[in-house]
Amino acid sequence: MSENSKRSVHFEEVCSEYAGQRLDNFLLARIKGAPKSLIYRIIRKGEVRVNKGRTKPDYKLKAGDVVRIPPVSVKEQAEAPKVSQALTTVIEQAILFEDEHMMAVNKPKGLAVHGGSGINLGLIEVLRQLRPKAKRLELVHRLDRDTSGVILVAKKRSVLVAFHTMLQKKSGMQKRYLALVYGNWPKHLKEVKAPLLKNELKSGERVVKVAQEGKPCHTRYGLERRFEGYTLVNAEPVTGRTHQIRVHCQFSGHSIVGDDKYATDEQLKSSKAAGARRLFLHAHSLRFIHPSTGEKMTLTAEVDEDFESFVSSLVPIN
């Protein structure tokens, strides 16, 4: 395998299937292995042209646009490792729904949704190996690596666009999470509206905090069960910001159990001593209208054994 994979300049006319896609995402799919920094650089330098003119990375392509894709040299990336039989079995058993348009998976905790930053094999890479005939598998949304639960994957770009429209308009899709938090969650606390600001550290780690200069953010909460020292709540993210539920729980004074980014050291120490072995955040259900059939669907993902056994070990409060 050569060190570099070289491309020659070519022009591509945008078909209707890709109308509305951002220019940077369009290029990422065509220059395999290219980091985003390279994509942004060639756009900024004017090496990429749309209809012979300069444009920006967030330009929404239109059917009939002609994109000039310049010759670039990209270091070839090693092929993703073959999915083990054990992981194959786990993921196949985790599929909640599948048809020719989409699939839904109960993502296990600890599995990233996609590779990168030292992770060779994420959920989407696993699914592409398990469904080689589905050429356009794409994540509809994301879950943090340590969060488990329902995640949608589109098999067609038209389905992906339809789902993204639902998410952007905050209409047609409702997500509900289960979260076990530290302390006694107040009955009156039924929603949190606090703007969130995302920071990326030099290490690449993302940290989010409540800040007035941040983006508007809204989460609805409901009580499920109370225990000595803990509360099980359900959370509905009205907006979809990074770490939204985790930071809103922390802001409310009730961090999520096992959250090593936002809980205190004392909280983490106490829950680990009690047997907690994961982040207790789970995408429990997803309601949406099927983009192709128009069917109203509700998909529910059960919590894993670690989640269930720890909650079962707690002392309930009436």
Of 144, 259, 260, 304, which residue is the catalytic one?
Answer: 144
AA identity, residue 118: G
- Taking residue 21's Cβ as centre, other Cβ atoms within 10 Å add up to 19
Bridge partners, residue 75, by sequence: 4
144 is catalytic: yes
Residue 128: what are its φ and ψ, rounded to 5°? -65, -35
| β-pair type (138-139, 148-154) | antiparallel
Say if residue 87 is exposed, middle or buried (CB neighbours under 10 Å; 0-12, 13-18, 19+).
middle
Query: Any idea which residue has 């090496």 for tokens?
Result: 47
Three-state DSSP state, 27: helix
Three-state DSSP state, 102: strand
Instruction: Please say whether the beta carbons of 85 and 91 come within 8 A.
Output: no
Structure tokens at 206: 């993302």
Among residues 44, 286, 274, 276, which one has the least CA distance to residue 143?
286
- For the annotated catalytic residues, the residue numbers are 144
